[in-house]
Amino acid sequence: MNAPATDRTLALQERNRKVRLVLLVILVANWIVAAAKLGFGLMSQSASVTADGLHSFIDGGSNVLGLVAMWVASRPADEDHPYGHGKFEALASLGIGAMIGIGMLELGRMALDSLLHDRHPQVTGLMAGVMAATLVINLVVTRVERHYGEKYKSALLLADASHTLSDVFVTIAVLISLGLVSLGYPRADGIVALVVMVFVAYVAYGIVRQAVGILSDTVRLDPAEVSQHTLAVSGVRSCRNVRSRGMEDSVYVDLKIEVDPHLTTAQAHEVADQVEDKLHGIYPQVVDVVVHVEPARQAPAAT
């Protein structure tokens, strides 16, 4: 392995370590919030508060899933995984979407149970205060997680930040429902829980779509742009079949170039090396470039 490749590997490992640290801190915060919501929701018989607590508990579960996935993703490439283990992070994002879907079904069940059986929560000032405090915590968690997700270009952190942001809106909706219940509209608890279910479904769809895009090798770089940069390299006569895949912070590129057919093998290889170096310099997220060199077609002789 050459020095630049080694440096990129070490940088990726350090990035994964920092992502794991962020997830661990967020895990503690999420489970504190979940315990508070579940406790008060069960004591007050509030469907919306209990559902919000379950949602927060799923947040914590997704963090555990993320920690395990990041541990696997940080492992270097091996014989069974020559491209590395980075996609395990996308698999974890897909798992988060599935967990949100499970929570959505539970939200619907509790909401319908509340409406059909006319069960009304007991709203207290302490409950409202706890919900407001958890709202503040979730806002801070979302901001921190999104900041580090963008900084480290982590699909997992960004997905989990979106999940936590959904918890923020859920908590706001629950606070509104508690206010309506205290004003004499007891069915607001179940109705708000149903609204929350729809929102959670939307969040789950977005996360799953992003993860599926990674796992199905969605194009990461504009082929025309890559081709333009490649053609700027001295000795490259044409560029075609540009393909890219991977995650935002670890992109793999392969392409075909044509060179002067009279170049020696060593000279053609040098042109390919220059293409690799140029693309690595322009796209820091590119971890590997495969350049297939072909001789340029000779123009037919005039008759």
Q: What is the pLDDT of residues 239-275, one digit of tens each?
A: 999 999 887 667 889 999 999 999 999 999 999 999 9
- Give long-range contacts, CB 8 A cutoff, 24+ apart: 61-64: 61/99, 62/92, 62/95, 62/96, 62/99, 62/160, 62/163, 63/23, 63/24, 63/26, 63/27, 63/30, 63/160, 64/27
Report the predicted TM-score, pTM, of the whole model to 2 decimal places: 0.56
How many Å is the maximal CA-CA distance in the chain? 96
Between the ranges 166-180, 221-235, 240-254, where is the mean pLDDT highest? 221-235
pLDDT, averaged across the chain: 79
Whether residue 59 is predicted with pLDDT greater than 70 in this model: the reply is no
CATH 3.30.70.1350 boundaries in the chain:
223-295
| Residue 5 pLDDT class (50, 70, 90 cuts) | low
**Residue 98: what pLDDT?**
76
User: Is 162 in contact with 184 (CB distance < 8 Å)?
Assistant: no
Which has more pLDDT, 289 or 81?
A: 289
Q: What is the mean pLDDT of residues 270-296?
A: 92
| Residue 65 pLDDT class (50, 70, 90 cuts) | low
Pairwise CA distance, residues 97 & 264, whole Å:
53
pLDDT above 90 coverage of the chain, percent: 20
User: Distance from CA of residue 167 to its chain's centroid?
Assistant: 16
**Residue 12: what pLDDT?**
64
Q: The domain 3-215 is classified under which CATH number: 1.10.10.60, 3.40.30.10, 1.10.3720.10, 1.20.1510.10?
A: 1.20.1510.10
Q: How far is CA 59 from CA 163, 223, 234, 264, in A?
A: 7, 37, 52, 58
CATH 1.20.1510.10 boundaries in the chain:
3-215
Which CATH number does 223-295 carry?
Answer: 3.30.70.1350
Pairwise CA distance, residues 189 & 107, whole Å:
11
Q: What is the pLDDT of residues 186-197, one digit of tens each?
A: 788 888 778 777
Q: What is the pLDDT of residues 112-138, one digit of tens each?
A: 777 777 666 677 787 788 888 888 988
